[in-house]
Structure 1
Amino acid sequence: MKNAYKMIDFLIDDSDDEKVVNFVKSLTEEEVKGEASSSRVPRTRVYIPRYREEAAVRLYNDYFSETPVHPEKKFKRRFRMSRELFLRIIEVYLRKPTADDIARLYNFHAQKHGLPGQYTRGDQKGPSIMLEAVASQDLWIWHAFFGMAGANNNINALNYSPVFNTIKEGTAPPSPFNVNGHHYERGYYLCDGIYPDWAMLVKAPHNSIDEPRKKFKRFQESARKDIERAFGVLQGRFAMLKTPARSMDFNKIRRHMYMCCIT
């Protein structure tokens, strides 16, 4: 408003056009300077340091030292705890952790979230988990079951595995084929001699005396190596499967394994 009055007074005066233009420019520059000077300065975030060790020392000096700053009555009134309990807290927690403390923490975490003792086998250095998988010649993993403790064998894993659930429920996809004049509606799985004698499991004969049996055993064992090749490709593609698991959470390890099988 002040500049507006100046402008009116200047126009009333008999001045030439050049003076008017210069006067308007001066007013514009004053407005720009005023806006620049009145702009808000951005506030910066204040960093508040927290020194836990120093706070623990101060807490000890205030209440638990030989010459405490605050009397015992004030301490009890503030914390509503006995002096002996807080002295034990100071002794156990408010100190630097030792190697025994870290080992106890890892053991407690393993018992609650990690792998219990039954996952450890005698021939393994640490806990291990079994992976049951069904793979075809093109390295396609059709079925994966991960989660059995490494101390179990293939029979125990098969009893808990859902590999035959679709066959029991009648929801398995049809896969008919003919062998030696016999028609079969469902597929079959190649396995070794440890598995039970089920109709959908094809094992190599124990005593291969005649040439046809020897040939069948040779082809069956050769085709059964497709699953071993699939395991080798998994380990070669994902380095995390060749090294011990970094995570101690069982569900996270299982999700990582299924992710590797899918991709």
Structure 2
Amino acid sequence: MTAALRMLAYGVAADFMDEYLRIGESTTMKSLFYFVKAVVEIYSDKYLRSPNNNDIVRLLAIGKSRGFPGMLGSIDCMHWTWTNCPAAWKGMYTGHTHEPTIILEAVTSYDLWIWHAFFGLPGSHNDINVLERSTVFTELAQGRAPPVNHTINDNEYTMG
């Protein structure tokens, strides 16, 4: 478990664990696999999913009480520095920060429940390019979004 947590927290390679913990690369990779599998099995039903109807009702009520009718969550994109980016890919992954980054797009609710994550686009993309590739906006553009009726600035909306 120490090897898995160290790899996830610091982004170190599996073969680094040989020097640090005296376990081989294949054992480290197995440990990481089992750790991630356990996290998904334990938390997927409650946390690693899109909101269901009860969640939508709750999120809409809280959003409305805070002055944001029809709001299910907040979306944002952030760039994570990729220190071990292969030299051949640095140009594609380098954007305005002048260092290789990978983009994470996430949707969270007020209680920090992350119910959507889209990770891995090169850092040379801006937020608009990320949103165009996002499954959140693909579903919305195809009319597959939670049915939510609300009015903002005298405009009627039917999707959250």
What TM-score comes out, normalization by structure 2 length? Answer: 0.38
1 or 2, which has the higher strand percentage? 2
TM-score (normalizing by structure 1)? 0.25
Q: Higher helix proportion, which one?
A: 1
Q: Of the two, which has the highest radius of gyration?
A: 1
**Greater relative contact order (Cα 8 A, min sep 6): structure 1 or 2?**
2
